Amino acid sequence: MPWRPEDAPRHTHKAQTDELCRLWAEVANKVLAETADEGRAIRTANFVVARQLRRRQRGEEPE
């Protein structure tokens, strides 16, 4: 089941912007395609969004 950006807030409160929601969906779908493990896909997407949010809060440039 591919995820959409609208699904992100159900899985993490850190996806606060449209950009972070799109990032979450992109990462979750990529990991799901590579591993077929939905739990791992969600955890990985949550981690990536949290890391991106921390970087933004510190004023670092996004990758």
CB-side neighbour CA atoms (13 Å) of 37: 9
Q: What is the pLDDT of residue 59?
A: 86
What one-letter code names the amino acid at 38? E
Q: What is the pLDDT of residue 62?
A: 59
pTM: 0.88
* DSSP category for residue 59: T
Spans of the chain, pLDDT less than 50: none
Q: What is the pLDDT of residue 1?
A: 65
Q: Are 31 and 41 in contact (CB under 8 A)?
A: yes
Q: Are 10 and 51 in contact (CB under 8 A)?
A: no
